[in-house]
């Protein structure tokens, strides 16, 4: 996965009806963009209701969460972190990401 910062979130109108993450700092007006979850999605200027009503795309969310670019500030090396990742698996992910 090569999705990099920066990114922005945009609600995608119906029938998609979800908020996806896209590359860039903000929407550049392109009618179609590829989201973090790998779909080419039609974009339009969202209304306030779109922002309120569209649930976040959890696939995009997870893609962005898995980016190793941000160090964990408070809990690095802490053995009692949230528990869904072991230090071993985190290190393996980092090494994989660092390999060209």
User: Which residues contact Zn ion (rule: CB under 5 A)?
Assistant: 20, 35, 37, 57, 59-60
Which residue is it, tokens 């910062």? 5
Question: Which residue, 40 or 52, has its beta carbon nearer to Zn ion?
Answer: 40
| Smallest separation (angstroms) from Zn ion to the CB of 39 | 6
Residue nearest to Zn ion (CB): 57
Query: How far is residue 87's CA from residue 79's CA, in Å, rounded to a whole number?
Result: 8
Question: Which residue, 10 or 35, has its beta carbon nearer to Zn ion?
Answer: 35
Phi, psi of 21 (to 5 degrees): -100, 140
| Smallest separation (angstroms) from Zn ion to the CB of 71 | 25
| Smallest separation (angstroms) from Zn ion to the CB of 90 | 23
Question: Which residue, 39 or 90, has its beta carbon nearer to Zn ion?
Answer: 39
3-state secondary structure of 95: helix
List the one residue out of 48, 20, 93 whose CA is nearest residue 7.
Answer: 20
């Amino acid at each position: 996965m090569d999705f990099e910062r920066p990114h922005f979130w945009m609600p995608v109108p119906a029938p998609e009806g979800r908020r996806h993450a896209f590359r860039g700092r903000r929407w550049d007006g392109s009618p179609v963009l590829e989201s973090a979850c790998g779909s080419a999605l039609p974009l339009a200027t969202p209304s306030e209701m779109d922002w309120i009503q569209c649930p976040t795309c959890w696939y995009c969310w997870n893609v962005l969460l898995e980016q190793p670019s941000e160090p964990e500030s408070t809990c690095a090396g802490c053995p009692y972190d949230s528990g869904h990742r072991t230090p071993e698996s985190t290190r393996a992910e980092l090494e994989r990401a660092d390999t060209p």
